[in-house]
Structure 1
Amino acid sequence: MSPAVLANLVALVHFAWVMFLVLGLGAILLGIAFGWRWVRNRWFRSIHLAMIAIVVGESLAGVPCPLTVWEHRFREQAGQTSFEGDFIAHWVHRLIFFQAEPWVFTVVYVAFGAAVAAAWIIAPPRWRPTDA
């Protein structure tokens, strides 16, 4: 498989990761408001929490996202121009021309992680089928 195709696949996985986090939290919050039982599914909630914990941990530790690193590397191998910064910063900039220091994105990641943790506390997942 060519490096360009691999870079695009990594970008697609990265996009799916972000969308799962953002749309997942939206679904959880709506589910809390409307009493949707499926948003308390332990697997969905555990995976969602683990995924944002990884993002927050990387950001606080100053570790670049492996998906961003891989995409950069594949694009360079393909002779393509790569973007600067991390995946979220790049796309936020491209979509709305938002410019901010890297620490701003760390704050956003931590705040988002806190929202996911708060939803976990407010509406914990079901651990047994009989839980409401």
Structure 2
Amino acid sequence: MANNNRPLSPHIQVYDMMQITALMSILHRITGVVLAGGLLLVLWWLVALASGPEYYNTVMGYAGSWIGRLVMLGFTWALFYHLCNGLRHLYWDAGWGFEIPSVYRTGYMVLIGSVVLTVGAWVIAYSVGA
């Protein structure tokens, strides 16, 4: 087998800045892992709910702290980002949107949509809770 000393394909070091396609792929994988970890927190909350008022109040104390709210905000954004990017992938599975302008446009739509949905969900949650 011939041993060529050349790269097999362009590596990330070739680019001046991160491409949106690479960023979206990396974020999709990271948010998938975050959502899997977040399900453990949901499970913790469900166990507290079933365990009685004292343990539930303890868990809600953690969830209501500034760090708990920050974690919930991140989980909410990860959920909406993963949802929007999943819809983008379904669009691609149908064979649409492979042109470069469309790829970039839908990438920005996913980023903006995930932020708008996160803010909307938190506004609704706080308006109902008040």
- What's the TM-score bracket when you normalise by the shorter of the two chains? 0.3 to 0.5
Q: When the two structures are superposed, what TM-score results if normalisation uses the length of structure 2?
A: 0.34
Larger Rg: 2
Higher helix share: 2
Q: When the two structures are superposed, what TM-score results if normalisation uses the length of structure 1?
A: 0.33
